[in-house]
Structure 1
Amino acid sequence: MTVRAHKSLAGVSVHPGGQHAIGRALPDEVPVALVFDGTTQAVMMASPDRIADFAHGFALSEGLIGGLDEVEGFEVIHHDRGIEARFWLASDRGAALKQRRRAMLGPVGCGLCGIDSLDAAMRDLPRLPDTGLHLTAHEVATATDALCAHQPLHDRTRATHAAGFLQPGMGITCAREDVGRHNALDKLIGALARQGTDPSTGAFVLTSRVSIDLVQKTVIAGAPVLIAVSAPTALAADTADSAGLTLAAFARGGGFDIFAHAHRIIDGA
C-alpha cells in the first residue's frame, strides 16, 4: 500500500504588503500503535510512510526485540484513525517489554516520553568496539549536505527530519524521513536491519540536535559514528564518550566539531 506522508492544504499568506491565497504541502502525522503478541506496547505519532521500517527500528532500538530472528510474523493494519504495526514473536519477550514499558502516547517530538523509572531512562549501554571504520574529514564535513539530496518530503514541506547512513567512499546509501527526529532514526535502523546492512560499516547522519536517546539508539544499533547538523546535549556527549561512540556535531558549512573518539575521523581532524 502506497501512503503519502504529506497533504496539500489551502491557506492565506499575510505580509506587510498584503495577503494572498496559497496552497502548501504539509507533512502528515498519525498515531502508530506498536503491538506485540496482541498487547500494545506504545503509540507514537509519526509520518505514515515506511511504517515497517519504523516499527522494526523502534523495536530494535528500544530493546523490545534483540534481532529480526525473534519476529515470527508482522503486518501493518491501516485504520481510519491510525495505524497498527503488529508483531508476533517467536520467543517470550515479556521481561524485556516490561523493562522498557512506555506510556500509551508519545508526542512526535518526544524521545523518552513515558519511561517509568530513572533506570529505564539511563539504561546501560554496551561499549562499541573498534572495527577499523574510518571516515575522512571531508566526508564528515559534507555529510549533512549530502543528506539533503535524500529528503524529498522535506523539499515539499520544509518541516521534517531525516536520518541517513553514510558509508566510507560511498556517500549516503540509505535515508529515511519523518516529522519526528527519533522516528527518522528508528526508520533508518529498521531499514538497515530489513535489508541486511550492518550499521557498524558506517555512520548515522542526523538533521537535528543530539539528545541522550539518539545516542542510545545509535549505540544499541551498533553504528560507531554519529554526525549531526546541530549541537549535542552535555549528557549526550558524555554518554557517547563512555560508550565508545564517535560524536561529530555542528557538521555544516564545511566544518564540524568532535566531542568524542576522534580517532575514527582522519585527514587531520
Structure 2
Amino acid sequence: MTWSAPDRQPAVNPSRPFGYREWEEAKRILLSRYPSIGYERIGDSVLGRELGVFRIGTGKREIHYNGAMHGNEWMTGMLLVRFLNEVAEALNGAGGVYRGEPVAEWLESTTLYVMPLVNPDGVELSIRGAEEGGGYSEQVCLWNGGRTDYSGWKANIRGVDLNDQFPAYWETERDRRDVGGPGPRDFTGAAPLTEPEARALADWTRSRDLQLVIAFHMQGREIYWNYRDLEPPEALVWADRFAKVSGYVPVKLSGSDAGYKDWFIQEYRRPGFTVEAGFGVNPIPLGQFDAVYEETAPIMLEGLKG
C-alpha cells in the first residue's frame, strides 16, 4: 500500500533514498503543515549536519524511536518519518484515528519523540559517495579499501560505528570486535561517546524521562529485547506484543554490548528494544519500502498504546 494524504505531498518519497537532503525537506513539510509536531535540535554531526528530534503528543508517558544509526540503514529514517507524517495527518483530519486505532486518545497520555537520522554523515556517504565526506573524503576512501562504492558503509564519517559507542560494557565490545581502527563498520572508537552523534543522543536521553525506547535497524525481522538480565519483567511482555502485531521474532540476544538499547536498559532498567526491520542485504532495496512499513508501523503503533 502506498499512502499519501489527499492533495498533500508526503514527507517521504518512497522512490528515492532518504538522506540528509530528504530529511531537511521532510522536516520542512512536517513543521509547516502540522501544529501537532514539535521539534528540538539536539546537536550536530561531525560535519555539522543538524541532529534533531521530533515530538508528537502531550502525555506524561514519554517514549522514543530512532533510526539510521548506521549509514546503510537509511530506510529506517524513512519508516519513522512516514509514521510521524501519517499519525499527524490522522490528528489533523481523520478524527484522530489511524489504522483503526484511536491515536489522538493515546497521544493525550503519551508523548512520542522521533529521531529519524542519528547518523546523517554516514547516511550521505552511503547514498551519495565520498563527495559528501567533507574534509574526510580522502580518509574514507582509504578506510573503504579504495572502493568508490559506499553503499555498505555503516559507520559515521570518522569510521566509528555509533551503535558500539555507548557506555554499556564498551570495553567488552571493543575487545570482541577487535577492529584496530576506523572503517566502514564495527570500529568502537577510542572510548565511549567520542562521537558527537552518539553523545548528542545520550545527552538528550538523559534529559528526558523515557519509559520505553526502540532503535530501528535493518535487517532480519527480529526484536532484541534484553540486556545482561538487566531488563525489567515487562520487557518480554512488550516484545511479545510487538511480535504479535508484526510477525517479527523476539530474540534473547547475548554476546553484544555498547548499543543504544543496551545502555538504556543498563541505565534505567526500563524496556529498550532493537527492531531489525525487513529481510535481505543492506541497504534494503527501495522496492521493499512499502512492505517493510506494513511490518513496522504496527510496532510503532503498539508502542503508543502504553
**Greater RCO, 1 or 2 (C-alpha within 8 Å, sep 6+):** 2
The two structures share one fold, judged by TM-score above 0.5: no
Structure with the higher helix share, 1 or 2? 2
Instruction: Provide the TM-score with structure 1 as the length reference.
Output: 0.28
Structure with the higher strand share, 1 or 2? 1
Instruction: Provide the TM-score with structure 2 as the length reference.
Output: 0.26
